Chains A and B, each alone.
Chain A
Amino acid sequence: MKEYSQDLSSLIDNEFDDQEIIDAVLGDVELQQQFSRYQLIGDVLREESDGLDLRVDVTDSVMAAIAGEMQDDNVVPLTTPEKQDTNVVPFMKRFGQYAIAASVAGVVVVSSLIVNQDNATDASSTPVLNTVPFGGAAAPVSLQATPAQTENDIKERNERLEALMKDHQLQLQTKP
């Protein structure tokens, strides 16, 4: 371990000559902590650590969060353009947040269709369409449906209704 210490010092100063030291640090937790301390010395001297709790190290929690995220989302976008100069952001990119507009307006979105068969009183029992307000519990609403529908049809149908509902909310927010 010891033999890397001077290279570690050079690494911090951008004065290293070969990549080996990076490999060594990445593969060794002790060296990483030493890297942190070397770094901290400079930070303290530059008075950038004043008022901070120096016992806090967010490295592990950041790495854990990243590992968790990447599991859900293995694809990193390649070249999405950097933020434009204006503070206007293309709407499409933000679709994920867009639900909030609707939620603030406080209306419903159709989210799932559940075929209510628990009573089994009638083979042609009416499927129940659950309308779910954002952040709320479901309230059943009846829907006329034919038995021939596949689950996929229903899913697509709901996605479309949801898209319409959200668009309606958006149109309300920006009505003339």
Chain B
Amino acid sequence: MKHRLFLVALVSLASLIVSPQLMASSEQTQSQVVKTEPTDLPSALTYLNNMKQAYNNLNYTLLYLNTAQNQIQPKQLVHGIIDGKRITYFTYLNGTMRESLQFDGKISFYQQGNQPYSLLSHQDQSVFADIANFDFKSGNRSYEYIILGKDRIAGKKAIAIRMISKDNYRYSYIVWLDLDSYLPLRLDIINKSNVILEQTMVVSMSISETVSPWIKQLSTQATPDILNLPHNTTTEIADWNVDWLPTGFKVIKDDQHKLMMHDTDPVSYLMLNDGIVSVSVYISSKKALLADQKNIIQRGATLIYTKQIDSVEVNIIGEIPLVTAEKIAASIKPVN
């Protein structure tokens, strides 16, 4: 078993190295699709909604690879339903044991050599969660959904659907679904030049009628202590606000809190979210260490953007294009 999987991983790895351009150029795939959609075929939206159902309600195990820049990480996701409640187990397959278990409003983290702990968390944190839980119907203000065509992923017949951003302020996605179960099999995050920034690809999938007895047993175990998040030092909202947001984005957190590790003054914090992507905006009066600095760090789809504006430093972190971060930063205004 082990050898077989290793082989699969190797092959995927090779194909990634050999043909990044091929995978990136969705034009090719698109041209194959043409306009042969008979009216009785399900629409892209139907497929996407089926995916949401499947991802949240089936009992399954996925082995998948995460690729960003030169990094490939094999991981495992086990999902099940116990008495109507979802349970999700996640682990890295390579290197140090790193695992998480999400169940019943809590997510617990375990790492070899460290004390395990839990956080209160009600949002599904698993790999395809952001895409699978998107409100596709109202999301069509920001994205257009197009069926690209059929493909084969992890030995399964799959259908590829492209979610094209209607503007330049967010990335686009291509998602591949298993035609039998509608579970997501592959997800590419692509920029406007069709370069793949990050990719998640399932290499092995198994679905079962009932929840695996093992994960069921996990659900009965005592979870590690819940960590008390640092309290917002004030009940205040952030001292700053943004004047501009891309279509579909909302402010879903607005507070002031201290950063761990840095025992500094609290920073003003905003979390922006469009249903898929979450962006953190930090505004602090910290004076710049690197004078007159604008810092741009990009890894995979994640951008870490830093800009000094007068006496404040703005940091923006999230899976958004640079142009979006620049516009957000430029629109920051003091409250009142």
Contacts and interface: CB of A to CB of B under 8 A. Distances in A.
A46 interface: no
A110 interface: yes
Interface string B286-299: 10011111111111
Interface residues of B, number: 65
B92 interface: yes
Contacts of A21: none
Interface residue SS majority, chain A: helix
Nearest to B301: A107
Interface string A134-165: 01110101011110110001101101111111
A2 interface: no
Contacts, number: 168
A129 interface: yes
Contacts of A146: 290-293
Contact of B261 (A89, A137, A162, A168): A162
B299 A139 contact: yes
Contacts of A144: 293-296
A25 B70 CA distance: 59
B297 A131 contact: yes
B253 interface: yes
Contacts of A171: 253, 269, 271, 278, 280
A137 B71 CA distance: 7
Contact of B228 (A91, A97, A103, A164): A91
B117 A97 contact: yes
Nearest to A148: B291
A174 interface: yes
Interface of B: 66, 68-71, 73, 75, 90, 92, 95-96, 98-100, 107, 109-111, 114-115, 117, 119-123, 125, 225-230, 252-253, 257, 259-262, 269, 271, 273, 278, 280, 282, 286, 289-300, 302, 304, 306, 315, 317-318
30 contacts: A88-B227, A89-B225, A89-B227, A91-B230, A98-B227, A100-B114, A107-B299, A108-B299, A108-B302, A131-B299, A137-B70, A139-B70, A141-B298, A143-B297, A144-B296, A154-B290, A156-B289, A159-B262, A161-B304, A161-B315, A162-B261, A163-B260, A164-B280, A164-B282, A166-B261, A173-B119, A173-B121, A175-B252, A175-B278, A176-B123
Given A100-B114, A173-B119, 9 more contacts: A88-B227, A100-B109, A104-B90, A107-B302, A110-B297, A139-B71, A141-B299, A163-B262, A174-B120
Interface of A: 87-92, 94-98, 100-101, 103-108, 110, 129, 131, 133, 135-137, 139, 141, 143-146, 148-149, 153-154, 156-157, 159-168, 170-176
